[in-house]
C-alpha cells in the first residue's frame, strides 16, 4: 500500500535586505506554500537572516556575542511563533533552520513543528563549516525525528560532506531525508548530479533540498536550487530560480529500490535493507578512530 507524502522545499532569493523585511517575506512565502497544500515544508539554512543587513554587520563585527544576540531565536521569539501558527493553520509539518538559542548554547538548528504547531524535535548542526565554531556550538545527536508523515533525518549545509550521517539515519529508521543549505559553491553541479541521487538509491530514502536562489544562476544556468528526489535518485521537482518560490512533489515511502536476491534468481529483495545485512562492522573501526597526525 502506497504511503504518499507531499513535500515542499522553499527557495529564497539571496538578496541583501533588512532582516524584518526578509522575515515578513518568508511568512508570506510559507503561507502561500501552505495554501498550495503539503505534508512537510522545509526552509533553507538560516533563511530568516542570511545576507540581511543585520547579519552582515554582526558577522563583520567579529563578536561572537553580537552574532548570537542579533541572529539568535528562541521558541518564544515572535517570528517562530508565527511559523508555529502557520503549521497549525495549514495542518502541515514546517521545518525552519535558524540560529537557535537553547539555554546557554546556540546552534544552527532545524526545528520541526507539527501540524498542531508543537515542537516535534530538532536537529543541531553536527559538522560546522570552517570558522563557524567561533560562533556556534556543535550538535551532538543524529536521531530521526518522528512526524505524522514519517521519520525524518535532517542535514544542514556542511553536514552533507559526511556520508556517515545518511547511513546512521538509515540504520536508525529514517524514511525521509532533508538537506537545508545556503551553499552556492562551484562544485554543486557534482553534488546534484552524483552525490544526491546516490544517497537516495543507496539508503532507499527520498530527499528534499531547500536552498537559496542567486541572480547569477539565471545568467550562468547554475544548478544549485531547491529540489526533490525519490528513493531511486530521480529528480521529481526542481530547477533554476531567481526569486522566492517553492517546489513540490509527492513521494511514496513504500516505493524503494530492489535487487535480485542472487544473480539469475528471479526473487527480488529491498536493496538498501539487503545492503544492511551485508555490512561488515568488524572492518569499520577506522570510521570511529581519530586520524593520527592529520591536520589541514
* Cβ neighbour number for residue 115 with a 10 Å cutoff: 19
> Which residue blocks in the chain are alpha helix, DSSP H?
19-36, 53-60, 64-71, 78-90, 163-171, 188-190, 196-203, 215-220, 271-277
Pair 248, 12: CB distance under 8 Å: no
Q: What is the pLDDT of residues 239-279, one digit of tens each?
A: 777 789 999 999 999 999 999 988 888 899 999 999 999 99
Domains of the chain, by residue range, sit at 4-256
* Cβ neighbour number for residue 172 with a 10 Å cutoff: 12
Looking at domain 4-256, its CATH superfamily turns out to be Carbon-nitrogen hydrolase (3.60.110.10)
Sign (positive or negative) of CA dihedral 189, 273, 282, 141: positive
Which residue in this structure is represented by grid cell 546556540? 106
What pLDDT, on the 0 to 100 scale, is given for residue 189?
74
Helix (H) or strand (E) holding 177: strand 176-180
Does residue 223 register a pLDDT over 70? no
Q: What is the pTM of this model?
A: 0.94
Q: What is the pLDDT of residues 81-135, one digit of tens each?
A: 999 999 999 999 999 999 999 999 999 999 999 999 999 999 999 999 999 999 9
* Nearest to 260, CA basis, from 241, 276, 274, 244: 274
Amino acid at each position: 500500500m502506497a504511503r504518499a507524502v507531499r513535500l515542499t522545499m522553499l527557495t529564497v532569493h539571496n538578496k541583501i535586505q533588512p532582516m524584518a523585511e526578509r522575515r515578513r517575506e518568508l511568512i508570506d512565502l510559507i503561507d502561500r506554500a501552505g495554501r498550495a497544500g503539503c505534508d512537510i515544508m522545509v526552509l533553507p539554512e538560516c533563511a530568516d537572516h542570511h545576507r540581511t543587513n543585520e547579519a552582515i554587520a554582526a558577522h563583520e563585527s567579529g563578536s561572537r556575542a553580537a552574532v548570537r544576540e542579533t541572529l539568535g531565536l528562541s521558541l518564544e521569539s515572535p517570528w517562530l511563533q508565527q511559523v508555529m501558527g502557520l503549521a497549525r493553520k495549514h495542518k502541515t509539518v514546517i521545518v525552519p533552520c535558524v540560529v537557535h538559542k537553547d539555554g546557554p548554547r546556540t546552534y544552527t538548528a532545524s526545528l520541526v513543528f507539527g501540524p498542531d504547531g508543537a515542537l516535534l524535535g530538532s536537529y543541531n548542526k553536527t559538522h560546522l563549516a570552517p570558522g563557524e565554531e567561533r560562533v556556534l556550538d556543535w550538535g551532538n545527536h543524529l536521531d530521526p525525528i518522528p512526524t505524522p508523515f514519517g521519520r525524518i533525518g535532517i542535514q544542514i549545509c556542511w553536514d552533507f560532506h559526511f556520508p556517515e550521517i545518511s547511513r546512521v539515519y538509515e540504520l536508525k529508521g529514517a524514511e525521509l531525508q532533508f538537506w537545508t543549505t545556503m551553499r552556492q559553491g562551484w562544485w554543486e553541479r557534482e553534488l546534484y548530479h552524483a552525490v544526491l541521487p546516490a544517497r537516495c538509491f543507496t539508503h532507499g530514502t527520498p530527499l528534499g533540498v531547500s536552498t537559496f536562489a542567486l541572480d547569477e544562476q539565471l545568467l550562468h544556468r547554475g544548478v544549485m536550487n531547491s529540489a526533490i528526489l525519490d528513493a531511486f535518485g530521480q529528480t521529481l521537482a526542481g530547477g533554476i530560480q531567481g526569486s522566492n518560490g517553492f517546489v513540490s512533489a509527492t513521494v511514496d515511502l513504500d516505493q524503494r529500490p530492489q535487487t535480485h536476491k542472487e544473480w539469475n534468481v528471479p526473487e527480488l529483495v529491498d536493496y538498501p535493507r539487503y545492503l544492511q545485512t551485508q555490512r561488515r562492522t568488524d572492518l569499520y573501526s577506522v570510521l570511529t578512530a581519530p586520524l593520527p597526525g592529520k591536520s589541514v
